[in-house]
Chain A
Amino acid sequence: MSGVVEAREISKWYGEVLGLNAFTVSFGKGITGLVGPNGAGKSTLFKLLIGQLHVDQGDLRVLEEDPWNNVSLKRKLGYCPESNQLYGWLTGEEFVEALLRLEGISARDAAKAATAALKTVGLVEARHRRLRTYSRGMRQRAKLAQALAHEPDLLILDEPLSGADPVARVHILDTITDFSREGGHVLMSTHVLYEVERVTNNIVLIHNGKAIASGDIHAIRALIDEHPHAVRIATSAPRAVAEALTGLDHVVSMEFPSPQELLVRTRRPEAFYRELPGIIVDRSLEVHGLESPDDSLEAVFRYLVG
């Protein structure tokens, strides 16, 4: 039992409608991105994690406890829902304070914690303005502030960047990264894959109620055999480079998309990258560019989900 979240054969049904189906995964240390198509089971998973729903089958542990009806566990969680409906008439400060008071924290401590949280997310100047005057980006940050204010161990964020402008996005991602660096864990779901890649390499890919992949993006990518890893090499002598690489048995194919490029597909990217510098130096090959166009979360998603 090493993960922050341990799910074993979790199933959750709404009548006939699938929520999660024998969902098994262990994840959560540091920052983990949760990605999947709409309807895959992400909201169900979140509701189970925060104890709003109970599993129909299977075993779920969050921070080593069962989340259902678990008040003491909830104190260690910070949840940032997707919905943007906030109490418009409250100011930013009142909003965070009120939710803190619900945790049982005293008024004075709540005020202090609220201000600190708002400062962390960069809303300290706007804290006396009413929430209804906040832009989308500011609302996202306000929600993040209330999730952070009671110093949880685990942040659960549902689409925290949706609708936020680039400036707000930087603030939010920085806050998440700082939180993780100080020892907290973060679960973040988003549809915008490049946002996840910016902060972490750990992902869980959910599809049809199951976890179809979890772990490091690049490790997952390397395992997707049907789509050998593509590497684009920019060189003035592509044929010479191609010749040098034909000896490698894991190279599946080579193409010349342009007179200055070689596109190699390899079944074992780890081996390829390890051997490449040696080959280039030994044969004095002139290589001035190297990139892997499909070693991304976007590609992983496309290959596994479609």
Chain B
Amino acid sequence: MLVETAGLTKVFGEVRAVDDLSVAIPEGAIGLVGPNGAGKTTFLRLLLGLLKPTAGRGRVLGHDIFDGIPIREQVGYMPEHDCLLPEMTGIGLVAYMGRVSGLDRNTAMSRAHDVLQFVGVEEERYRKIAEYSTGMKQKIKLAQAMVHDPKLYIFDEPTTGLDPRGRREMLDLLRLIARSGERNLILSSHLLPDVETICKHVVILDGGHQIAAGELQRLLSGAGDRLRIDIRGNYGDFARHLTDAGFEIEATPRGLKSPRRPGLEAEVFRAARASGAEVRYLGSEIRSLEELFLEILDRERAGGR
């Protein structure tokens, strides 16, 4: 197990930031999601050993979270917020952080250069960080998390502030790390599509509890899979053709959904031809992680706690 906790609790005054949290997170690429105030931040701080729990226990990579130092030797953390030293150079900062993690001077320097190459920082590494663009700063943040080659990466909102190209590059890098096999990562993000493309497993927190967890594919392929049809053109006639043929439909912003039954797909095209509509999408009612998340959240909160 990557992370195991039993009854983990952290209380700040009146606020139970993490409340009797018991999770078992397997190795691999894990998404950590939850609304604001769900306890994600506190949970990560507890895992890094930077906070002592009020109650309960936890283990990360086999080490007890009570002593954070052995854990942090094997963890690379990429914070969400600005945290770089502006007057250092890119290479200087990354090598320095390598040394503070325990690498000797030569290894730190050599690894720093390798890592900067990997993330795509070329000659800029010799310039001061104060002159860097947002995208480059994010890359440095990633590099300093990688330099000591940790077993577990923790990424906190890694695509914040990046333009679409930067975001794509960052996600490509994270995906490479995730797929490399021997490395684990925990991705905490509000951008659920990012989590979807990178993580195999997801943990959903709310109010300090875990309200859902599991393999992403399993969670998303929910029961009662319906067929989703996006069309352009004469919606009214198209829909009528389908209902006339005996199929139930439910309207969506771009078309409609219908429970899968034999002959449905063929009828869709017949209806399209007859009504002159164009079929633009035909496939599973692929629920996105975002929809799933909001649904689970609603259910939990309505269930009254």
Contacts and interface: CB of A to CB of B under 8 A. Distances in A.
Interface of A: 35-39, 135-138, 162-170, 191-194, 234, 273-274, 276-278, 280-281, 284, 286-292, 295, 298, 301-302, 305-306
Main SS class of interface, A: mixed
B36 A274 contact: no
Contacts of A168: 35-36
A291 to B, nearest CB: 5
Given A273-B280, A277-B272, 9 more contacts: A36-B163, A135-B36, A164-B190, A165-B36, A169-B190, A192-B167, A286-B266, A288-B265, A298-B164
A164 B35 CA distance: 9
Interface stretch (B58-66, B102-110, B289-297): B289-297
Nearest to A195: B191
Interface of B: 33-37, 133-135, 157, 160-168, 190-193, 232, 265-266, 269-270, 272-273, 277-283, 290, 293-294, 297
A231 to B, nearest CB: 9
A292 B281 contact: yes
B133 A289 contact: no
B254 to A, nearest CB: 10
Contact of B293 (A166, A287, A290): A166
Given A163-B157, A166-B35, A166-B293, A38 B269 contact: no
A281 B190 contact: no
A276 B276 CA distance: 11
Contacts of A280: 269
The 10 closest A-B pairs by CB, nearest first: A277-B272, A135-B36, A273-B278, A290-B282, A277-B273, A37-B163, A280-B269, A38-B163, A277-B269, A289-B283
A192 B37 CA distance: 23
A291 B269 contact: no
B281 A291 contact: yes
Nearest to B283: A289
B169 to A, nearest CB: 11
Nearest to A138: B36
A278 to B, nearest CB: 5
Given A137-B36, A291-B281, A281 B269 contact: yes
Contacts of A136: 36
A234 B157 CA distance: 35
20 contacts: A37-B163, A38-B163, A135-B36, A162-B160, A165-B35, A167-B297, A273-B280, A276-B278, A277-B279, A280-B269, A286-B266, A289-B282, A289-B283, A290-B281, A291-B282, A291-B283, A292-B280, A292-B281, A301-B164, A301-B165
A164 B157 CA distance: 11
Nearest to A136: B36
B162 A191 contact: yes
Nearest to A233: B282
A276 B282 CA distance: 13
Given A163-B157, A292-B281, A37 B35 contact: no
Contacts of B162: 191
Contact of A163 (B37, B166, B168, B190): B190
Contact of A191 (B167, B273, B280, B283): B167
- Of residues B163, B168, B272, B294, which shows the largest number of chain A Cβ atoms within 10 Å of its Cβ? B163
